[in-house]
Amino acid sequence: MDRFLIQGGEPLQGTVSTARAKNAVLPLLAACLLTEDTCTIKDVPALEDVNTMLKLLRLIGVRIEQENRTVHLTAQGKLNHEAPYDIVRKMRASYYVLGPLLARFGTCRVSLPGGCAIGPRPVDLHIKGVTALGAKVAVERGYIHARAKKLNGNTMMLEGYKGPSVGATINTMMAATLARGETVIEGAACEPEVVDLANFLNAMGARISGAGTPEIRIQGVKQLSGTTHRPIADRIEAGTFAVAAAITRGTVQITDCQPEHLTAVLTKLKEIGARIAIDQTSIQVEMKSRPRATKISTAPYPGFPTDLQAQFTALLTIAAGTSTITENIFESRFLHALELNRMGASIDINGNMAVIHGVEKLQGAQVMASDLRASAALVLAGLAARGKTEILRIYHLDRGYEHLEKKIARLGGKIKRIKPT
């Protein structure tokens, strides 16, 4: 397996461009199942999760043509209605084919999902959404079997005990585009990726309003057509580079991004001492002193994103004072804390809270990544640490960051990918 070797202590300096958002691209690709016309997605990032979704769509029978970063998808002819375990276990977002397959063909068989080891992420709200639209759903031998001669619009509350579900909102919204009548999703997720998908679906001929608010309304249509779309910028990648600038006490200009999607993150960076300058499509982060301690609680958008919790944990390990991070979205999402402690951090975990006692400096060590965002946190820690850091199992990182080491190297970071001999 590939690994990273990092020589820490170099402030990052320069400009880095943001890729398109993985969490937007994956549902967009699945949504192409809703029409037999060709859909075109531009600037698709070269990520393992994207490759997994394209593999699944090819298995279903979608014709896919790629020209550099442009992907043309045509879901025409006889298609397979199953998403098998061998693919879905690798990536939870494979589950996004449930809504489109059910809406267009009236049947689907989708394996229960996999993904990162960050605690249970139940599918009950996905099932609740399509059931409310009239589908009959059974869970048998690790698969969801859903059938409906015709879906019918309905009003439903999709918010779970930990808040809105992005996945359930997306799946239900896609299914409802071809349902009879009006569907109202209350307690809907407000994330920018939901808005991006709604814009894509509307360009295909759907009638969706309210995306980005807790109430989404969908007027069902008989059919959808093809369209061309460029996804939104990856706010998590942009946030990761913002933290990279802060943790190395450097200055980084992050371009081709959407600062309005990172308000909670930029507010916290300012609070701990970073200097932030933004315009319509860029963010500059400058940090010249040791960060101050703070308190963070993850929350659904527009709150502080759980997908940047690990990166901020790494940053706060070198803050002056004691910080706390409360993780309200996913269980078991502090696995990176044990590895950061191997690097000299002082982190105590108490349930869903991390208490971080800031130290002057981290020390390089051999560490192991447990999931996608934990991988990014360890890279950031390695960039700030004294000496060499070796990060194992970086395949997690390749699921969500495109050539991260190359971007960091262009900013002056000393990082190398080592392949097995």
Task: State how far the Cα of 244 lies from the Cα of 240, in Å rounded to an integer.
Answer: 6
CA distance 201 to 223: 11
Cα dihedral value 153, 102, 130, 115, nearest 10: -140
CB 22 within 8 A of CB 380: no
Which listed residue (32, 116, 190, 257) is catalytic?
116
Half-sphere exposure of 18 (CA within 13 A, CB side): 27
Structural contact between residues 388 and 6, judged by C-beta atoms closer than 8 angstroms: yes
Distance CA(96)–CA(105), nearest Å, equals: 15
**From its phi and psi, is residue 387 left (phi > 0), alpha (psi between -120 and 50) or beta?**
left
Would strands 347-350 and 353-357 be described as parallel, antiparallel, or unpaired?
antiparallel
Contact in structure between 247 and 289 (CB atoms under 8 Å): no
- Annotated catalytic, 190? no
What is the C-alpha separation between 105 and 237, in angstroms, rounded?
A: 36
Which residues participate in catalysis according to the annotation? Answer: 116
